[in-house]
Amino acid sequence: MPDVTKTAAEAVEDAIAPPSAAEPAPQPKAEKARSLWGDAWVDLRRNPYFLVSSVLIFFLLLIAAFPSLFTSASPTVGDLVNHYLGKPELGKIGSEGWLGYDGQGRSVYARLIHGTRASVIVGICVTLIVTIVGGIMGMIAGYFGGVIDAVLSRVTDIFFGIPFLLGAMVVLQSFTERTIWVVVFALAFLGWTQITRVMRGAVITVKQADYVQAAKALGAGTGRILFRHILPNAMAPVIVVATIALGGYISAEATLSYLGLGLSSPIVSWGVDISTGVTQIRTAQHILLYPSIMLSITVLAFIMLGEAVRNALDPKLR
């Protein structure tokens, strides 16, 4: 007959005893290693520059998409009674005249809000075009090498040698009507060279990796190797350059509009208002001041975002 008491005692003793050498304690599961993009996202969430720039950019995109949420005044219709009236309407913050009026009696605040759309559209569209065109050319040149690389590199050098703003002026002079899309084309026509060089260098480095050589050995096609293995691992420096350049394209559009070669009335743009405000800088400084501040904040926001992304994606800087 089994000893029930002894068996129960032994069971309790075994339950409270530490695990023996023959039965080691279970080890905690190792955390899954994060990828470069996972590490970058963790760093970005802790970076104050990224947080501040993201809030500013989100706010600018909201203004560009829904200007009617911020003002109900027309940016093109004015009243000459308000001719160059620059005194704010105290106690009416948010009204159409709290930043003053221009020479045609139009609300500076309304033009400031509606002018965001043109600048943001130009910056984003130019960045997308140059990233796609320059990225494809750089990827082809870096991957195939040889004659293809030599030809594409020389073409890139030719365009790279043309001064950016001077070339854009020449292109814009060829058009009688300068719409937003004409300005986008003029800036993108000469803006792809830097992306091409960055992508080419990244592809030359990535194509020598073991996983690319293994894909070739397994018989993977050129398209699969380029877009499945090389492109995702070569995009980090391109994203950094494109993000920083976006602010530069917005500034370039304002510069061209200021010189009278970019956007023009009736299109509402910060560059157009800055050009108008320069002529009245002694008597109506508010026309020049507020668009300049908005332009500076926008360019600074994108530059800060680019710097934060660069610091997050570069392991040497972490």
pLDDT of res. 94: 45
Write the pLDDT tens digit of every residue in 187-201. 999 999 999 999 999
Residue that wins the pLDDT comparison between 90 and 66: 66
3-state secondary structure of 101: strand
Contact 101, 78 (CB under 8 A): yes
Which pLDDT score is estimated for 316?
A: 60
Say if residue 250's pLDDT is above 70: yes
In whole angstroms, give the CA distance from residue 138 to residue 146: 13
CB atoms within 10 A of CB 299: 19
What local confidence, expressed as pLDDT, does residue 21 receive?
46
Amino acid letter, residue 318:
R
Q: How far is CA 144 from CA 147, 201, 224, in A?
A: 8, 13, 14
User: Confidence class of residue 263 from pLDDT cuts 50, 70 and 90?
Assistant: confident
Q: Which residue has the higher pLDDT, 230 or 83?
A: 230
* Residue that the structure tokens 């990828």 belong to: 35
**Per-range mean pLDDT, top range of 37-41, 83-87, 200-204, 281-285:** 200-204
Return d(Cα 115, Cα 64) in angstroms, integer: 8
Contacts of 227 (CB under 8 A, 6+ apart): none
Distances in whole angstroms, Cα of residue 213 to Cα of each of 137, 142, 220, 226: 22, 15, 10, 12
Q: State yes or no: pLDDT of 19 exceeds 60.
A: no
CA pair distance 110, 149, nearest whole angstrom: 50
Residue-range domains of the chain with CATH: 46-317 (1.10.3720.10)
Whole-model pTM: value is: 0.81
Note the pLDDT tens digit of each residue in 114-140.
999 998 999 999 999 999 999 999 999
CA distance 141 to 159: 16
49: which residues sit within 8 A by CB, 6+ positions away?
A: 304, 305, 307, 308
Q: Which residues pair with 107 in a beta bridge?
A: 101
**Which residue has tokens 């009236």?**
85
**54-69 burial by CB neighbour count: b if 16+ within 10 A, else e?**
bebbeebeebbeebee
pLDDT-based confidence at residue 9 (cuts at 50, 70, 90): very low
pLDDT at residue number 318: 55
Q: Is residue 151 scored above 90 in pLDDT?
A: yes
Q: Which of 100 and 34 is assigned the larger pLDDT?
A: 100
What is the rounded CA–CA span in Å between residue 282 and residue 79?
22
Alpha-carbon torsion angle 169, 173, 178, 181, nearest 10: -60
Structure tokens at 192: 């792809």
Percent of the chain with pLDDT over 90: 34
User: Bigger pLDDT: 5 or 105?
Assistant: 105
Mean pLDDT of 46-64: 91
Close Cβ partners of 72 (under 8 Å, ≥ 6 residues apart): 96
Task: For the chain, give the percent of residues with pLDDT over 70.
Answer: 82
- pLDDT-derived band of residue 91, with 50, 70 and 90 as boundaries? very low
Please state, rounded to an integer, the average pLDDT across all residues of the chain.
82
Average pLDDT over residues 46-74: 90
Partnered with residue 101 across adjacent β-strands are 107
φ/ψ (deg, to 5) at 101: -135, 160
Residue 10 pLDDT > 60: no
